[in-house]
Amino acid sequence: MQRIEDRTAFVTGAASGIGLAITEALVAAGARVAMVDWHGDDLERESARLGSATLTQRLDVTDRAGWAVAKERVEAEFGPVEILVNNAGVAPTTGSLADMTPESFDRMIDIKLGGTFNGIHTFAADMRERGEGHVVNTASMAGLMAIPGLGAYTASKFGVVGLSEVLWAEMKRHGVGVSVLCPGLVRTNLATNHPDRPADAEPVAMDAGIDPSIVGRQVVDAIRADELYVITHGETRPMVAERVDRLLAAFDRAPHQDGEHLP
């Protein structure tokens, strides 16, 4: 999708962090952006700053009925959604999988993986029917390699990567692009954005991460270039390569149907 100007985009998790940076980059490229989040005050403030190219919509991405309401309102005001950015998420609950509560696990999967599916369910068929559009799903480097202590988060992010790869394979012949964003550490407030976090907890510093504006520009470039994978931290390649090498080694040990390596 080389032309972003005059397109309508729908960005979840748009009140701050990566979602806000993607919104800013899309607005700079000439798009109209529905800024979608469950943090109403931040959402309204940032939309007012960005101006008439944006509108705001409160949404819990786990609420499927809410998605239908949001779609109806946004498309009535801005026209058909041509760019969908499934970015909403929450910070991981840390600790061993063996000690994680089912409620924490389910909540993570529902928001990140279920929320991403809900966006696809709401908008992707219309894009296919029109023969154009682009879907961006935010995963993580945790969707490309296992990170001990982040079990549910890693599972949800691996799920988003797989979901995106399937959607890409299904949609490419229909003129609809798909990108999966796999960021490393980015300066956001994600670490404070968790339903189990006490309201009076101290802010968590994320100063070590890269500026989210870099990620926003990468996403817009990926939409234009129709790139499937968007990687923000090239230095993580050896860790992903190590996982791939382990997978390929397992194939080398596996028996073949022709009996060549059968014991």
Any idea which residues carry the catalytic annotation?
153
Name the 3-class secondary structure at 163: helix
Distance between CA atoms of residues 57 and 229, nearest Å: 28
Distance between CA atoms of residues 249 and 142, nearest Å: 22
Distance between CA atoms of residues 228 and 214, nearest Å: 18
CA distances from 95 to 13, 100, 104 (A): 25, 7, 11
In which region does residue 87 sit, left (phi positive, over 0), alpha (psi from -120 to 50) or beta (all else)? alpha
Residues in contact with 174: Cβ distance below 8 Å, sequence separation at least 6, in sequence order: 127, 128, 131
| Paired tokens of 154 | 């890693």
